[in-house]
Amino acid sequence: MTIPAITLNDGTDIPAVGFGTYKLNGEDGVSAIVNAIDSGYRLLDSAVNYENEGAVGEAVRRSRIPREDLRITSKLPGRHHAYDQALTCIQESLFRTQLGYIDIYLMHWPNPKQGLYVEAWSALVEAQKRGWVKSIGVCNFLPEHLEKIIAASGVTPCINQIELHPYFPQHAQLAWDKAHGIVTQAWSPIGRGNDMAKDPVLQQIADRVGRSVVQVILRWHHQLGAVALPKASSVKRQQENLALFDFELTAADMAAIATLAKPDGRTADQDPAQYEEF
């Protein structure tokens, strides 16, 4: 199976689909992540707040895939946006993963009430200069936040990871990112709960192309130009979630999916109040 590569604005590349590791912790988490690598994933998404950087690092060491062929992501929590705290936090991520460097380091959210995200971005720029991390980016940033850090540093994030799925398609943010050379990654790519998996419009498309609803959703992300980060514990689901690149959705399919956007489509996790502890 060949996964297309996407070139970031710093010249590095990432696979066109990744593996989310949220709630994959301890020995069971390590096993699930090793299985994901064996299934073909080369982009692993972690965070300080997931409390599993150690599990991700251990999975990388246990896998049969060379370290340099993998792309490991972690994220800076909002509570460590002060410059010195941010640098220390990144060092701690390195110590926990024990991987020598982290491929992609993101700010988990702008934490606008605290208002130190420009300072935090400066720390990520410095960490990249020191070789601690290869690429830097952000999560859950709006254009106003992105404009401020770019103006202050002259460095444009290579990635903006946002909630994105058919019920919350974020077309304006996706277009803004693309216009500024930023790759959009999608957390919660298949939404929350099982509502989307039962959607009749998606099911009709899935029946026509002979795929599952989840595969249709993940293919939709790819055709939009977004990098989905699905999570799955079972090997079967992990492999199904990678099988996106040997079929296409038609223009009519994409138009039908575009009608599914809902005013309440965003999840509770996107509510800034949910990020206070981050």
CA 270 – CA 191 distance, rounded (Å): 12
Q: Are the CB atoms for 9 and 156 separated by under 8 Å?
A: yes
* Helix (H/G/I), strand (E/B), else coil: 9: coil
Nearest CA to 242 out of 5, 13, 6, 18 is that of 18
Residue 54 token pair: 């150690």
Give the torsion sign (CA, 117, 90, 136, 37): negative
Q: What is the DSSP letter of 260?
A: T
Q: Are the CB atoms for 224 and 13 separated by under 8 Å?
A: no
CA 238 – CA 209 distance, rounded (Å): 20
One DSSP character per residue, 141-210 reads --HHHHHHHHHHHS---SEEEEE-BTTB--HHHHHHHHHTT-EEEEESTT-STTTGGG-HHHHHHHHHHT
Is 50 designated active site? yes
Nearest CA to 227 out of 187, 261, 255 is that of 187
Task: Compute the residue count for the chain.
Answer: 278
Options 41, 50, 167, 275, the catalytic residue = 50
Backbone angles phi, psi at 193, to 5 degrees: 70, -160
Q: Which residues are catalytic?
A: 50
